[in-house]
Amino acid sequence: MLGLLAALVAAASDETRAETPAERGRYLATVGDCVACHTAPGGTPFAGGRAIETPFGPIIAPNLTPDRASGLGAWSDADFLRALRRGLRPDGARLYPACPYVYFSAVRDEDLLAIRAFLATLTPVANPARGAGFGFPFNLRPLMVFWDALYFRPAPFVADPGRSMAWNRGAYLVEGLGHCGACHGAKGALGADPEPGVLGGGRVRGWFAPDLGGDPRAGLGGWSLDDIERYLATGSNGRALAAGPMAEVVENSTARLTMADLRAIALYLKQDAPLSQPAAAPSPVPNGRIGAAIYADACAACHRANGEGVPGLFPRLAGSSAVQSARPDTLITVVLHGGRAAATGAAPTGPAMPALGWRLDDASVAAVLTYIRSAWGNEAAPVSSEAVRRGR
């Protein structure tokens, strides 16, 4: 019974801002969301083993714990910096750019070494799983030398003295450790990330990571700084709910960042991300009545007849940038397969969208998506049955 009392009086220890390099490194590893890739489902955090799907096949994320044989235990600081900066393992082999070392070249030495100091405090776990299941010729790591030559320009971050400290901090986080462009930038033909600073939206695992530029429909043009902060801090801001891959990013990373860093990220994204191309001009809506009827039947109970949704529960469709994105991948994936929103301490609900693919055929999904992309003032291109079929 004494144990019960002790439990009652034990105050929960608040995680305060880092002091030692290792503690600072824990925070920076959270910014980089390293745990997302380097943890197998149900596995020990950072012990690797998760298969990262890429257009060329799966890559097994390696073990980051200080196990000497299978982890980073035998690596020197210089090895660590070289891997994250230049994509080279200690044995000289080249990393595949599933690891966003392209971004990490912008990160300061002291920050990378803090992450290393943090990783060194983890309990060593023996987990030799790594490697890639690529087909020829992508299975040949030496060929990465050509990829790097084509696409990789190591570029340390240079602060803009004409900007505020906060703006520069935001730029450093977004373009560096945060590696936002890895999803929100359009990948090139060989998996190349876009130029730094171009966050015009990109496809990832069947979802479309929206345009983070200033477009008022498809981008962040209609979002306030507070909207961006709340979205990153909680996964939910009354305009949108983080779902799919972004739900993981919010849960593992952004919900755990300081409000000062979230404000910095918002400042950088909101004020200075370059304006992207305006969304495609709307075409006449085919099957508008069919889409509206399906909407009334299958969607309106939650998303409401006027598309306004319910804040924190059912995403708003009217005026939504996800709905009006250039590509409808996210919409198709969510309608066919469902999805679950992020659950965070501040917004724990984690509501789910049910899968409708079993009761709506391709033409019906296309009709209802075309409807929501053109109803309530929305303007975006129609969705074809063919695009829905590819999403199944």
Partner 1 sequence: MPADALPAADVVIIGFGWSGALIAEALSAAGLGVVVLERGPYRDTASDFPPGFAPDELRYAVRHDLVVPTAQNTITFRNRVGQTALPVRQWGSFLPASGAGGGGVHWNGQTWRFRPSDFVLRSHLANAHGHDVIPSDATIQDWGVSYAELEPFYDRFEYLAGISGRAGNLRGHRQEGGNPFEGPRQRDYPTPPMRMTLAPTRFAEAARALGYHPFPQPSANLSEPYTNSLGVVIGPCSYCGFCERFGCGNYSKASPQTVLMPALRRRPNVALRTGAEVLEIARTPDGRHARGVRYVDADGIERYQRAELVILAAYTFENVRLLLLSGIGQPYDPRDGSGVVGRNYAYQTTASVQLFFDETRFNPFIGAGALGMVVDDLNAEGRDHARLGFIGGAHLAAMQSGGRPIQSRPTRPGTPRWGGAWKHAVARDYLRNVRLGASGSSLSHRGAWLDLDPTYQDRHGRRLLRMTFDFHANDLRMIQHATDRLAEIGRAMGPAEMVVNQRHGPYSVVPYQSTHNVGGAVMGPDPTTSVVNPWLQSWDVANLFVVGASSFPQNPSYNPTGTVAALALHAANAILTRYLPAPGPLVPR
String marking each residue 339-358 x if it binds partner 1 according to CB under 8 A: -x--x-xxxxxxxx-xxx-x
CB within 8 Å of 370: residues ≥ 6 apart: 285, 286, 287, 288, 291, 382, 383
**Nearest distance from C-beta of residue 390 to partner 1, angstroms:** 23
**Do the Cβ atoms of 295 and 287 come closer than 8 Å?**
no
Q: Rule CB under 8 A: say whether 14 interacts with partner 1.
A: no
| For partner 1, the closer CB: 117 or 298 | 298
- 253-312 residues in contact with partner 1 (CB under 8 A) are 298, 301-302, 310-312
Considering the complex, state which of residue 190 and residue 310 has its C-beta at the smaller distance from partner 1. Answer: 310
Residues 15-74 that bind partner 1 (CB under 8 A): none
- Nearest-angstrom CA–CA distance, 127 and 108: 29
> Can you tell me whether residue 24 is helix, strand or coil?
helix
**5 vs 165, beta carbon nearer partner 1:** 5
CB nearer to partner 1: give 144 or 353.
Answer: 353
Binding segment (CB under 8 A) for partner 1, from list 19-27, 60-68, 318-326, 335-343: 335-343
3-state class of 144 per DSSP? helix
User: How many whole angstroms separate alpha carbon 61 and alpha carbon 387?
Assistant: 31
Count the Cβ atoms, other than its own, within 10 Å of residue 267: 21
Cβ proximity to partner 1: between 109 and 297 the closer is: 297
Minimum CB separation from partner 1 for residue 26, in Å?
18
d(CA 107, CA 116): 13
Q: Which is nearer to partner 1, 133 or 354 (CB)?
A: 354
CA distances in angstroms from 388 to 170, 184, 206, 239, 392, listed in the order given: 37, 22, 11, 25, 7
- The secondary structure element, H or E, covering residue 113 is helix 109-120
CB of 298 to partner 1, least distance (A): 8
The CB-of-299 to partner 1 minimum distance in angstroms stands at 10
Taking the complex as a whole, how short is the minimal distance between the CB of residue 348 and partner 1, in angstroms?
4
CB 264 within 8 A of CB 166: yes
Query: In the chain, where do the E strands start and end?
Result: 51-54, 57-60, 131-132, 202-204, 207-209, 339-340, 352-353
In whole angstroms, how close is the CB of 388 to partner 1 at the nearest point?
A: 17
Contact between 238 and partner 1 per CB under 8 A: no
Question: Which parts of this chain interact with partner 1 (CB under 8 A)?
Answer: 1, 3-5, 7-8, 10, 12, 298, 301-302, 310-314, 338, 340, 343, 345-352, 354-356, 358-359
